[in-house]
């Protein structure tokens, strides 16, 4: 046994404590300027930018489980900006741009991998919508092209060009499409935020929200009550439940979303590929495993169980796209609960309660927006409630005036 190991074994002074990525847990203070409910990517990114750009560090992130253990740990990490509406494309484009610099910024490898994302069209109607998406994307500086079957074959030689007897007519080739290690994104933000003085409290569940005269003044938790100047709610699948503690009713329904992964194989698939008709997307990780997923479960539920039904239908589609996958073994299947809005766009900004800010409605598409959400939510908080222009279209009251931002077609087949 090396001598140094023996030495540390016998002393209380462990070498890694002072270099640890996250500080040791502390008691809750009585007051914070900002309380962030939810220690997923969105919550910690908001804290990070509050500290970094606005010098606000009297901030507590309250997380009922562990850092990044919610949907941040469950998503399939598709990063893209090829949406349909100008509001959406503009917003997601900035997020993709920010993602590209994160490893450097954190000095921590988030394994950002820019492989491009390909969506397949099997009908004329889909080809038409792809044309529109191509043009909107180019307009806002994204790299997206409509490509023909020959180009698709060259990009993905192993793809069946006639899956389930639905010939592939064209592809939406999004060159900026990428993936990254989702856990690392949460860890990088958490490390940067806590180094600047933000407190991260894991195993700390918010059980109540104190509202006085229409204004939030504090929260209660399983570890006692704290008062605060404002609250940011970033709890994804639990959005309606937490909002109801503040007396807020939301235009959200919670559905499970499942995904699965096979045993690793040799690299064969560079781009992320999704089929608009089969509702299935397939991608190969840096470790060689094939990750695939599809649409949400067919009915609402607060439960992260996996189902045989989904396994059967999704596997059938995946094997249609890549027939050789029939010989592979599945390694894992899992689910997250997703906060779905009816227009497949998020809910960001003000709420009916003063100083209570919402970052919700992220459904099946919110990992890619983590950086820009953090940045814009931090701006919102630091300015005392001045809504940044970029997120103004996503205010909750858009539903009251029927001004939805419809991204359903650009979201349902690939997240």
Ligand X SMILES: Cc1cc2nc3c(=O)[nH]c(=O)nc-3n(C[C@H](O)[C@H](O)[C@H](O)COP(=O)(O)OP(=O)(O)OC[C@H]3O[C@@H](n4cnc5c(N)ncnc54)[C@H](O)[C@@H]3O)c2cc1C
Residues found near another protein in the complex (CB under 8 A)? 240-241, 244, 249-254, 298-303, 305, 307-309, 342, 399-402
Among residues 364, 409, 329, 351, the alpha carbon closest in space to that of 237 is found at: 364
In this structure, what token pair is assigned to residue 93?
């484009």
User: Are 393 and 87 in contact, with CB atoms under 8 Å apart?
Assistant: yes
Measured in whole angstroms, how far is the alpha carbon of residue 92 from the centre of its chain? 12
Rounded distance between C-alpha atoms, residue 64 and residue 233, angstroms: 13
Minimum CB separation of residue 250 from ligand X in Å reads 14
Kindly state the helix (H) or strand (E) to which residue 219 belongs, with its residue range: strand 215-221
Asked if residue 74 binds ligand X (CB under 6 A), the reply is yes
**With CB cut-offs between 5 and 8 Å by kind, which of ligand X, another protein, none does residue 240 bind?**
another protein
**With CB cut-offs between 5 and 8 Å by kind, which of another protein, ligand X, none does residue 346 bind?**
none
**With CB cut-offs between 5 and 8 Å by kind, which of another protein, ligand X, none does residue 43 bind?**
ligand X
CB atoms inside a 10 Å sphere around CB 335: 23
Question: Which one of residues 23, 69, 149, 385 is an interface residue with ligand X (CB under 6 A)?
Answer: 69
Asked if residue 35 binds ligand X (CB under 6 A), the reply is no
User: Are 223 and 28 in contact, with CB atoms under 8 Å apart?
Assistant: yes
**With CB cut-offs between 5 and 8 Å by kind, which of ligand X, another protein, none does residue 299 bind?**
another protein
Q: Around 162, how many Cα atoms within 13 Å sit in the side-chain half-sphere?
A: 1
In this structure, what token pair is assigned to residue 315?
């596997």
Minimum CB separation of residue 378 from ligand X in Å reads 14
Asked if residue 340 binds ligand X (CB under 6 A), the reply is no
Question: Which one of residues 22, 23, 28, 65 is an interface residue with ligand X (CB under 6 A)?
Answer: 65
Among residues 290, 411, 278, 286, the alpha carbon closest in space to that of 342 is found at: 411
Q: Which is nearer to ligand X, 42 or 122 (CB)?
A: 42
Question: Which one of residues 81, 94, 338, 341 is an interface residue with ligand X (CB under 6 A)?
Answer: 338
- For residue 48, give every residue at least 6 positions away whose Cβ sits within 8 Å of its Cβ, in sequence order, or none: 189, 190, 192, 193, 196, 198, 374, 378
Angle, CA 69 vertex, CA 278 and CA 78 arms, to 5°: 35
Minimum CB separation of residue 401 from another protein in Å reads 7
Minimum CB separation of residue 334 from ligand X in Å reads 7
For residues 116-145, which are near ligand X according to CB under 6 A?
none
Rounded distance between C-alpha atoms, residue 353 and residue 213, angstroms: 9
Q: Which is nearer to ligand X, 70 or 271 (CB)?
A: 70
Minimum CB separation of residue 333 from ligand X in Å reads 10
User: Are 189 and 180 in contact, with CB atoms under 8 Å apart?
Assistant: no
Question: Which one of residues 32, 34, 41, 87 is an interface residue with ligand X (CB under 6 A)?
Answer: 41
Rounded distance between C-alpha atoms, residue 26 and residue 201, angstroms: 8
Q: Which is nearer to ligand X, 203 or 316 (CB)?
A: 203
**With CB cut-offs between 5 and 8 Å by kind, which of another protein, ligand X, none does residue 78 bind?**
ligand X
Asked if residue 177 binds ligand X (CB under 6 A), the reply is no
Q: Length of the chain in residues, anyone?
A: 415
Is residue 46 classed exposed, middle or buried when 0-12, 13-18 and 19+ CB atoms within 10 A define those classes? buried
Asked if residue 322 binds ligand X (CB under 6 A), the reply is no
Asked if residue 64 binds ligand X (CB under 6 A), the reply is yes
Asked if residue 187 binds ligand X (CB under 6 A), the reply is no
Which of the stretches 10-18, 66-74, 103-111, 262-270 binds ligand X when contact is defined by CB under 6 A? 66-74
Question: Which one of residues 36, 78, 372, 378 is an interface residue with ligand X (CB under 6 A)?
Answer: 78
Which of the stretches 3-11, 50-58, 141-149, 230-238 binds ligand X when contact is defined by CB under 6 A? 230-238
DSSP string covering 152-184, please?
HHHH-TTS-SSGGG----EEEEETT-BB--HHH
Interface residue list for ligand X (CB under 6 A)? 37-43, 62-65, 69-72, 74-78, 205-206, 234-238, 242, 257, 259, 293, 336, 338, 362, 364-368, 415
């Amino acid at each position: 046994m090396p001598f140094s190991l023996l030495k540390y074994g016998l002393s209380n002074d462990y070498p890694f404590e002072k270099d640890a990525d996250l500080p040791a847990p502390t008691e809750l203070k009585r007051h914070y300027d900002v309380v962030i409910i939810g220690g997923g990517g969105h919550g910690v990114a908001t804290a990070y930018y509050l500290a970094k750009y606005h010098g606000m560090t009297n901030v507590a992130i309250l997380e009922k489980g562990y850092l990044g253990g919610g949907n941040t740990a469950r998503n399939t990490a598709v990063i893209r900006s090829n949406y349909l509406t100008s509001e959406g494309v503009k917003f997601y484009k900035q997020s993709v741009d920010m993602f590209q610099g994160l490893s450097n910024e954190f000095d921590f490898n988030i394994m950002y991998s820019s492989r491009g994302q390909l969506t397949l069209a099997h009908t004329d109607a889909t080809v038409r919508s792809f044309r529109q998406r191509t043009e909107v994307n180019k307009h806002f500086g994204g790299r997206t092209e409509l490509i023909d079957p020959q180009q698709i074959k060259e990009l993905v030689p192993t793809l069946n060009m006639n899956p389930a007897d639905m010939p592939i007519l064209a592809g939406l080739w999004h060159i900026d499409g990428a993936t990254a290690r989702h856990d690392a994104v949460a860890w990088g933000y958490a490390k940067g935020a806590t180094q600047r003085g933000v407190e991260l409290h894991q195993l700390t569940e918010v059980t109540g929200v104190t509202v006085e005269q229409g204004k939030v003044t504090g929260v209660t938790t399983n570890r006692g009550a704290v008062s605060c100047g404002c609250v940011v709610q970033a709890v994804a699948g639990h959005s309606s439940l937490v909002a109801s503690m503040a007396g807020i009713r939301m235009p959200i329904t919670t559905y499970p979303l499942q995904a699965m992964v096979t045993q690793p194989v040799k690299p064969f698939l560079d781009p992320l590929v999704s089929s608009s008709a089969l509702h299935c997307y397939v991608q190969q990780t840096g470790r060689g495993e094939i990750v695939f997923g599809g649409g949400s479960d067919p009915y609402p539920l607060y439960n992260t169980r996996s189902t045989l039904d989904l396994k059967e239908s999704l596997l059938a589609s995946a094997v249609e796209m890549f027939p050789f996958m029939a010989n592979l073994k599945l390694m894992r299947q899992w689910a997250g609960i997703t906060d779905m809005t009816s227009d497949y766009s998020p809910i960001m900004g003000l709420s009916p309660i003063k100083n209570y800010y919402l970052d919700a409605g992220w459904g099946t598409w919110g990992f890619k927006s983590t950086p820009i959400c953090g940045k814009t939510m931090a701006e919102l908080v630091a300015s005392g409630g001045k809504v940044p222009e970029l997120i103004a279209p996503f205010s909750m009251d858009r539903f009251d005036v029927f001004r939805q931002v419809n991204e359903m077609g650009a979201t349902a087949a690939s997240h």
